[in-house]
Amino acid sequence: MGGMQPQSVGVQVGVRVPKVAALVFPGIERRPCSPEDPWNLLIGFDEFAPGNKLSLHNARKTMCLSFSFQELGHDLFSEDAWFTPIALRTDMMNQVSGGWSCMLKEFLKALLLGPSGFQTAGVALELRGRPALIHARVGQLLSDGDGLRIALQWMGQ
């Protein structure tokens, strides 16, 4: 995750994915953002297990993380409004020291606080040929109880 650069991803998405630009641009017009008044990130993560749900060891079990912006309002119902930068097999995740909790921390640091993060520099997009800069902070972490338990390293019942 050390190589993740939100700035370059943002520019590429804004230029190459017209459906995303069509959703984000009206959001920026409705509610501009700034470092002093950032947008709110909605960050959702959960494991899914294709195949037999009762299998004791499902090697295809995958942790997925997606994010979007609360300010997109009803457009959040469109799959085009969501970015999914992480889809990782649970077996691989469990090999990392600290597991999902450590990986989530590193991802959020890069997304928000890196040199081109949403909270530091803002993420530049080119929307309909015009530049836009999105500043954002964590608004909500969305997951089920087990996802939050893994992310926050809760112990016990």
How many domains are contained in the chain? 1
Decide if pLDDT at 7 tops 80.
no
Quote the Cα angle for 81-67-131, to 5°: 60
Give helix then strand counts, H and E, for the chain. Answer: 5, 6
What pLDDT is attached to residue 11? 46
Torsion angle defined by CA atoms of residues 86, 89, 91 and 93, in that order, rounded to the nearest 10 degrees? 0
Residue 117 forms part of a structural domain: yes
Residue 116 forms part of a structural domain: yes
What pLDDT is attached to residue 15? 45
Residue 157 forms part of a structural domain: no
Residue 107 forms part of a structural domain: yes
Q: List the domain range (segments joined by +) for residue 11.
A: 6-49+59-151
pTM recorded for the entire structure: 0.83
Residue 1 forms part of a structural domain: no
Residue 54 forms part of a structural domain: no
Helix ranges, 39-140 (H) = 90-93, 99-108
Q: What is the pLDDT of residues 90-148, one digit of tens each?
A: 888 889 898 899 999 999 998 898 888 899 988 887 776 778 889 999 999 999 988 89
Which of the four pLDDT bands, split at 50, 70 and 90, describes residue 6? low
